Structure 1
Amino acid sequence: MNPNTTVALPQRGPAEHDRREQIIKAANEHFRHYGYSKTSVAELGKSIGVSSAYIYKFFESKQAIGEAVCAQYLGHIDATLFAIADNGQSATSRLRNVFKSLMKKGLELFFEERKLHDIAAVAAANRWCAATNHRAALYGIIERIIVEGREAGEFERKTPLDEVCMAILSAMTPFSHPLMLEQKTPEELEERVVAITNLVLRSLAC
């Protein structure tokens, strides 16, 4: 699959519907409080006054509900990074800030919303659509910065673009993958994000 290709989240019924949003909101609250594994579809239905069967009109499984919740949170991270990619600074500064912000957002999820972090970890481990789309968004952000950096004369042009983008995407993995974020302290991650970013930028220099 092309790393820049997004996939549709599993869903049933109309994409825009008040009940769908109610279910996602209830799931968000339950997952944050009880965790994904300890929340049942019946409990979600009870919280908004509908049956499990009614919920299944909009979502084919609890996983599909989890995907929707996960997609919202990963979407917030993507929006932050896209804003950095569009902020008009030099490509070098933007790429450095994307690395830092990606790590910061991951740590915020881990320390402040631990149960939602656990859902993101499940999504990454099982290659949920939400995780695939997040990776595609990261690739697109990297590609935009590299292309504009080349046009501005900041980055070399000899290496194939897709090779550069995939290499940088791989270099970001320790700061974007929930399970890998758990393996280091914030201080260690701070040191590594600076070192890896510096190495990436040196490799891009003309």
Structure 2
Amino acid sequence: MTETTDTREQILRAAMTRILHYGYAKTTMAEIAKDCDMSAGNIYRFFKSKLDIAEAIVRGFNQAFYQLFAEIARRSDEPALPRLTELFKARLERTYHMMQNKTKALEMADVLARERPIYYVEELAQERIYIVQILEQGRKSGEIKSLDNPNFTAEMLQIALMKFESPRFWADESYEELTREFDGVMKLLEKSLT
């Protein structure tokens, strides 16, 4: 790694630690700089704002997750529908377990959704790449009926399963309740695809 990359990573680690402890709103650039033993001015050389830091944290988190999605999509010798379920279930599990003890992370996600809605549009588009790959593989194997527009179908699957991605919709539900609902919705969606 370069010195610039190391410094950037140091800032992100310090910001993540502070935000998860105190919350996004109660974290300042000066505090993050102090945690890194540098001046606030130096932080601004790497990030224009605290929101840019939050976005970089979430992008890094999601990037690691897309590697899992890519691995699921690469297993083209396996049936498509169980892999599609696996992808969406992994998304639910990640969000549920992350939010269980990290309400401060949810605060940061809410701010990002309000202040940078285009970020979420980009993230959904990235996720759709893997969904489309699996749909196409299922279509080629005959497991999934012919699709006029696989990208549109992938987008509709994301919309149909949005509840399981957003903690706002299930704050009071247990994991067992959520997985029961998820399994029911997935069965309906699978029937529509075959």
Q: TM-score, normalised by structure 2?
A: 0.89
| Structure 2 CA distance for aligned equivalents of residues 179 and 137 of structure 1 | 22
Gaps of 5+ in 2: none
* Higher share in helix: 2
Gaps of 5+ in 1: 1-13
Q: TM-score, normalised by structure 1?
A: 0.84
Q: Is 2:115 aligned against 1:121?
A: no
Q: Percent identity?
A: 28
Deviation at 1:183, TM superposition (A): 5.5
| Structure 1 CA distance for aligned equivalents of residues 171 and 129 of structure 2 | 26
Tell me, yes or no, if the aligned pair for 2:51 and 2:112 is still in contact at 8 Å: no
Tell me, yes or no, if the aligned pair for 1:82 and 1:141 is still in contact at 8 Å: yes
Q: Is 2:85 aligned against 1:96?
A: yes
1 or 2 for the larger relative contact order (CA 8 Å, sep ≥6)?
A: 1
Larger deviation, residues 187-196 vs 108-117: 108-117
- The alignment of Structure 1 onto Structure 2 pairs a total of residues equal to 192
Q: Is 2:5 aligned against 1:21?
A: no
Deviation at 1:16, TM superposition (A): 5.2
1:178/1:81 Cα in 2 relative to 1: closer, same or farther (>3 Å)?
farther
1:1-206 map, 5 Å = 17-88=5-76, 89-128=78-117, 130-182=119-171, 184-205=173-194
When the two chains are superposed, the root-mean-square deviation of aligned CA atoms in Å is 2.1
Tell me, yes or no, if the aligned pair for 2:164 and 2:178 is still in contact at 8 Å: yes
1:40/1:196 Cα in 2 relative to 1: closer, same or farther (>3 Å)?
same
Which consecutive segments of 4 or more residues in structure 1 shift more than 6 A? none
Give SS of 1:105's match.
Answer: helix
Tell me, yes or no, if the aligned pair for 2:163 and 2:169 is still in contact at 8 Å: yes
Give SS of 2:18's match.
Answer: helix
